[in-house]
Amino acid sequence: EVQLVQSEAEVKKPGESLKISCKGSGYSFTSYWIGWVRQMPGRGLEWMGIIYPGDSDTRYSPSFQGQVTISADKSIRTAYLQWSSLKASDTAMYYCVMGAAGPYYFDYWGQGTLVTVSS
Amino acid sequence: QSALTQPASVSGSPGQSITISCTGSSSDVGGYNYVSWYQQHPGKAPKLMIHEVTNRPSGVSNRFSGSKSGNAASLTISGLQAEDEADYYCSSYTSSGTQVFGTGTKVTVL
């Protein structure tokens, strides 16, 4: 059974750094694209970016390029989403997603990690 | 890369059929047969309902169907049921090798 298990909720202050994680199991981690989707409170879904753990090929939405970093450690089957300096506007639910058929759509979703940024 | 355009809300009575539209451009919806649809109930993670315009994943009711014409795609829910009340998002692969979501549609069962 494919599972994407995300790290717990985080509460941070503006300007702090953060790295959240997503551990994949039940499939060949290096063979499928894994990525991140943002959902701000009461808002819609936003596609952030994806990575192919096999060769670390990474693609970002123009809206998130330079704002976050997506990475993966294939030795521990884990993908990451990180910020170097958080803003209040980063407050959102972040979903880890996986596309079994390529970078075209997401078959599998994690449970979500709520990030709250507040002074 | 602008979000795909969806109506903010669609409603219908139980048993009726409703259709949600999703309008993009030749760089996304019109250029690829990689339109997908997701259902999201409040407080839950989204669920894939349709992929590659018309394909239903295993376990998804055949009351859900998809189509595409030019730069616009549609999701039709037939035999509307109370459990179908949720938010629905379309998504498309793009010429940049990324994806873009739609603005989202709230479906209300009257």
Q: Is A76 helix (H, G, I), strand (E, B) or coil?
A: helix
User: Which residues of A are less than 8 Å from B104 in CB distance?
Assistant: 44-45
pLDDT-derived band at A85 (thresholds 50, 70, 90) equals: very high
Mean pLDDT of A74-101: 96
Place of tokens 């394909």: B55
**pLDDT computed for residue B3 by the predictor:** 94
- Greatest extent of chain B over all pairs of C-alpha atoms, in Å: 40
Identify all chain B residues contacting A44, using CB atoms and an 8 Å cutoff: 3, 87, 89, 101-104
Output the pLDDT for position A102: 86
pLDDT at A101 over 80: yes
Q: Which residues have C-beta within 8 Å of that of residue A38, sequence separation ≥ 6? A: A45, A46, A48, A64, A92, A93, A94, A95
Rounded distance between C-alpha atoms, residue A11 and residue B26, angstroms: 41
User: In the predicted model, is pLDDT for residue B1 greater than 80?
Assistant: no
- CB-based contact B48 A105, cutoff 8 Å: yes
Residue B73 to residue A40: CA distance in whole angstroms: 25
pLDDT, tens digit, 9 for 90 and up, residues B60-96: 999 999 999 999 999 999 999 999 999 999 999 999 9
CB-count exposure of residue B33 (10 Å: 0-12, 13-18, 19+): middle
Give residue for tokens 């970093």. Answer: A69
**Angstrom distance (rounded) from CA A29 to CA A118:** 34
More reliable by pLDDT, A5 or A101: A5
Instruction: Kindly report the number of other CB atoms within 10 A of residue A71's CB atom.
Output: 15
> What is the per-residue pLDDT across A19-76, written as a single tens digit (0 to 9) for each?
999 999 999 999 999 999 999 999 999 999 999 999 999 999 999 999 999 999 999 9
The Cβ of residue B61 has, within 10 Å, a number of other Cβ atoms equal to 14
Locate the chain A residue with the closest alpha carbon to B87: A44
**pLDDT for residue A17:** 98
Q: Whole-angstrom Cα distance, residue A46 to residue A58?
A: 17
Which of B 39-98 lie inside 8 A of A, CB atoms?
40, 45-48, 51-52, 57, 87, 89, 91, 93, 96-98
Instruction: Note the pLDDT tens digit of each residue in B33-61.
Output: 999 999 999 999 999 999 999 999 999 99
Cβ-based contacts of A110 with chain B (< 8 Å): 45
Q: How far is B62 from chain A (nearest CA, A)?
A: 18
